[in-house]
Amino acid sequence: MTTLVFLEHHDGELQKGSLGVLAKATSFGGDVAGVVIGSGVHELAEHAGRFGASTVYVADDAALDAPLPQPRVDVLAALVRDHAFANILFAASVLAADVAAGLAARVEAGLNWDLVDVLEQDGGLVGKRPALGDSVVVDVGWSTEPRLALFRSGTFDPVESGGTAQVESVPVQLEEHSQLATMVERAHAESEGPNLEEAEIIVAGGRGLGGPENFGLVEDLARALGGAVGATRAVVDAGWYPYSTQIGQTGKTVSPKLYIACGVSGAIQHKVGMQSSGTIVAINKDPNAPIFEFADLGVVGDLHTIVPKLTELVQQRRGS
Ligand SMILES: Cc1cc2nc3c(=O)[nH]c(=O)nc-3n(C[C@H](O)[C@H](O)[C@H](O)COP(=O)(O)OP(=O)(O)OC[C@H]3O[C@@H](n4cnc5c(N)ncnc54)[C@H](O)[C@@H]3O)c2cc1C
């Protein structure tokens, strides 16, 4: 069984989510290949060998510089035509979701999305997909090959195996209709500190902060710890913080080593996005808040008093 993993990259770096999916793929029997598509990406392909790919296909062409989906579908469709991949796996992102859906349509393959795990069974795969508001996990399958799967972001951690990959260039032939869309402008959200999905420490703020002006408390603690800031849907809906920081069922799935929730009630829709964090610390004034049912460490009290003190202590420790 040969598995191909779509290795997404931005700003010269392979995405952690794709490398995590690569690590998962190495747990099946059979060969694991990766594909890197872009312009000036040969080095990235070699790098992928350290994370478990035995072969990395590279489509390197100036026409692939912009992260647009259709040209990537062309490259993948040609690879599928020339190689008998049993599985093609993607880590969810805006780009990967478009590429996976486009490829499924182009090669008439089945795509299961929003998966949180996959197991090898009787020579095939069984995907695990949360349903009914994440209250159950259902088994999903495929009736034909290649099996296409899109995994929730942050589902698997990358594992550095230290291997090397055989890097194979593939010819780039783009369909006319795939080149009709062009990238007019790229903008980056201004942010300091680590990216939310990749952060090892996240400090999340909820409605308990009382207003957008108090997000500074959460930001100060995150900065002191070298972490990223997350938010609940209640606060992003209220316009207190950007949507890009929302964690949960309709936001991002994260799995940092440490998650500090400040004034977050711990609703199920928030929990599903952060429950696989290593250590969960909750600061909440209500001892009956649901978050205490799954927090590893709970502090009952007013966050406006506790969070600044905690920040000060962290700064003192780091300074000493
Ligand atoms: C379909 C659907 C999808 C959803 N998707 C998401 C999602 O992706 N992510 C998400 O987060 N939510 C999501 N929600 C919303 C979710 O149900 C909750 O409403 C939301 O998570 C609550 O946010 P919160 O914890 O900030 O606010 P609240 O539930 O209002 O909780 C605030 C908490 O702060 C505490 N508090 C108040 N003052 C203080 C203080 N001074 N000091 C300490 N603690 C204090 C309170 O005791 C309370 O526990 C979704 C809902 C639906 C229906």
Residue 130 to residue 316: CA distance in whole angstroms? 43
| CATH for 53 | 3.40.50.620
Nearest residue CA, atom 6 of ligand 1? Answer: 269
| pLDDT band, very low/low/confident/very high, at 195 (cuts 50, 70, 90) | confident
Asked whether residue 159 falls in the same domain as residue 83, the answer is yes
Per-residue pLDDT at 219: 96
Together in a domain, 156 and 22: yes
Mean pLDDT of the chain: 93
The band of 136, judged by pLDDT with boundaries at 50, 70 and 90, is confident
Structure tokens at 109: 């393959």
Same domain flag for 173 and 209: no
Q: CA–CA distance from 209 to each of 140, 231, 244, 277 (Å)? A: 40, 11, 18, 22
What pLDDT is stored for residue 227 in this prediction? 95
Which ligand 1 atom is the nearest neighbour of the CA of 248? 8
Asked which of 137, 152, 179 is the last residue of a domain, the reply is 179
**Same-domain check for residues 133 and 247:** no
Say if residue 173 is in the same domain as residue 30.
Answer: yes
Residues 54 and 129 in one domain: yes
Amino acid at residue number 207:
R
Q: Do residues 171 and 225 share a domain?
A: no
Q: Give 209-246 pLDDT, tens digit per residue.
A: 999 999 999 999 999 999 999 999 999 999 999 998 99
Q: Is residue 273 part of a domain?
A: yes
Mutate to test the pocket of ligand 1, among 244, 265, 294, 299 (most ligand atoms within 8 A of CB): 265
Query: Which residues have any ligand 1 atom within 6 Å of their CB?
Result: 206-208, 232-235, 246-251, 263-265, 267, 269-270, 273, 283-286, 289, 302-304
Longest alpha-carbon distance in the chain: 62
Q: Could you tell me the distance, in angstroms and rounded to a whole number, from the CA of residue 311 to the centre of ligand 1? A: 23
Does the pLDDT of residue 184 top 60, yes or no? yes
In a domain, 187, yes or no: no
Nearest atom in ligand 1 to the alpha carbon of residue 251 is 8
User: What is the rounded CA–CA span in Å between residue 147 and residue 247?
Assistant: 29
Query: Are 120 and 264 within one domain?
Result: no
The predicted pLDDT at position 191 comes to: 66
pTM strictly above 0.85: no
> Distance, CA 207 to ligand 1 centroid (Å)?
6
Q: Which of 136, 151, 179 is the last residue of a domain?
A: 179
What pLDDT band is residue 320 in, cutting at 50, 70 and 90?
low
Query: Is residue 186 in some structural domain?
Result: no
Report the number of secondary-structure helices (H) and strands (E) in the chain.
8, 17
- Domain of residue 152 covers 2-179
Report pLDDT digits (tens) over 280-317: 999 999 999 999 999 999 999 999 999 999 999 999 99
pLDDT at 190: 67
Nearest CA to ligand 1 atom 30: 207
Rounded to the nearest angstrom, the distance between the alpha carbon of 313 and the centre of ligand 1 is 27
The SS3 assignment for 150 reads: strand
Confidence of residue 194 (pLDDT cuts 50, 70, 90): confident
Domain shared by 256 and 129, yes or no: no
Answer with the one of 151, 179, 207 that is the final residue of a domain. Answer: 179
Q: How far apart are CA 257 and CA 251, in angstroms?
A: 19
Indicate the number of domains in the chain.
Answer: 2
Report the nearest-CA residue for atom 29 of ligand 1.
265
**Domain membership flag for residue 60:** yes
Q: Write the residue with the smallest CA distance to atom 18 of ligand 1.
A: 267
Helix 94-107 crosses helix 69-82 at what angle (to 10 degrees)? 50
Domain annotation covers residue 188 = no
Give the Å distance between the CA of 291 and the centre of ligand 1.
10
155 shares a domain with 216 = no
- For residues 22 and 157, membership in a common domain is answered with yes
Do 290 and 231 contact (CB within 8 A), yes or no? no
Phi first, then psi, for residue 301 (nearest 5°) are: 165, 180
Nearest residue to 91 via CA among 24, 191, 33: 24
Task: Report if residue 185 sits inside a domain.
Answer: no
Instruction: Supply the pLDDT for residue 133.
Output: 65
* CATH, residue 224: 3.40.50.1220
Using the atom order of ligand 1, give the atom closest to the CA of residue 265.
Answer: 49
241 assigned to some structural domain: yes
Name the residue of 264, 280, 283, 291 whose CB sits within 8 Å of the most ligand 1 atoms, as the mutation to test its pocket: 264
119 CA to centre of ligand 1 in angstroms: 33
The 10s digit of each residue's pLDDT in 5-27 is 999 999 899 999 999 999 999 98
Instruction: Name which residue sits closest to atom 2 of ligand 1, judged by CA.
Output: 269
Domain-embedded: residue 256 = yes
pLDDT at 161 over 60: yes
Quick one: 77 and 125 in the same domain?
A: yes
